[in-house]
Amino acid sequence: MIQNCNTSFSWHTAAPSCVFPETAAINCRRLARSVAEVGLYLLELHACLAYGPDDLPRKDYGLAYHLHLPLDLPWRLGGETVFYAMEGLLEKTAYLHPWAFVLHPPERPDDLHAFLGALAASGRDPQAVLLENTDTASPADVLALADAAGCGVCLDLGHLLAMGHALPTDDPRLAPAARMLHVYSPFGVEGPPPGRSHSHRTLSCLSPEGREVLMWMLTRLRPRTVVAEVFTPVHLLESLAVLDAVAGEAARNCPAGDGA
């Protein structure tokens, strides 16, 4: 029986905007049948700055949104320059009222602080930025960065498992900071390949150990959004089914009335 667990499971289930080999607009229209929220994956700065009205979703799909900011931001130029370089992405998606901006943190904390300072000066809330753990930044690393910078955390299950990172489960800052989860299996059922490379596989490929970590995240944290971060329609549907099954198992194993 799981002690001190979260039994509400009131998160939004979300998908990336690149599940189908179509525009983000078409992805969002189709994904609205299966999920409550879509992450607009704006992963390439210049390509996404060139998006026009036909590339982005309409407001009437009934979805909530968040943004995944580009992976190729020019941090060598400094955090303030990075913000100004990508501010156009925030402007062209503002009509969708995204509630969060997922960011892979830069190597230098000073660049992050400069980025957040420029974002705040533009009238936006730094608390909407969620730092994601990556291959080079563990969950403990991003939690410390987020705490110092006044923003939140997006926990990525696949990065954590692929790199053998640990969750800082005893840190009381984790639960309030972890407002989003990215969930997928980093390996196929055959297990990890040589080295530390990984891919985004369906949740049905999770190892027993990976499933235990997912269960811990769902029962001990209170994320607003859980993203099934896979990029094909069949794997998305499989992952949503696994997520439902794990949530159901967690609810059955939590003591009645235990919402601590």
* Residue at 3 is within a domain: no
* Residue at 260 is within a domain: no
- In eight-state DSSP terms, residue 111 is H
* Residue at 258 is within a domain: no
Selection from 182, 240, 250 nearest residue 218 by Cα: 250
Give the separation between CA 145 and CA 153, rounded to whole angstroms.
9
Count of domains observed in the chain: 1
* Residue at 4 is within a domain: no
Return the beta strands (E) in the chain as ranges: 12-16, 37-41, 64-68, 101-103, 129-132, 152-156, 178-183, 225-228
pLDDT at 260: 41
* Residue at 135 is within a domain: yes
* Residue at 133 is within a domain: yes
Helix (H, G, I), strand (E, B) or coil at 185: strand
pLDDT at 249: 86
pLDDT at 90 over 60: yes
pLDDT at 191 over 50: yes
Q: What is the CA radius of gyration of the chain?
A: 18
CATH of the domain at 98: 3.20.20.150
Read off the pLDDT of each residue in 232-239 and give the average, rounded to a whole number: 97
* Residue at 2 is within a domain: no
Q: Which domain holds residue 165?
A: 12-253
pLDDT category at 189 given cuts 50, 70, 90 is: low
The span from the first CA to the last CA of the chain, in angstroms, equals 14
> Considering the chain, what is the average pLDDT of its residues?
92
Read off the pLDDT of each residue in 63-81 and give the average, rounded to a whole number: 98
* Residue at 5 is within a domain: no
Quote the percentage of the chain above a pLDDT of 90: 85
Which tokens hold the place of 19?
Answer: 């599940």
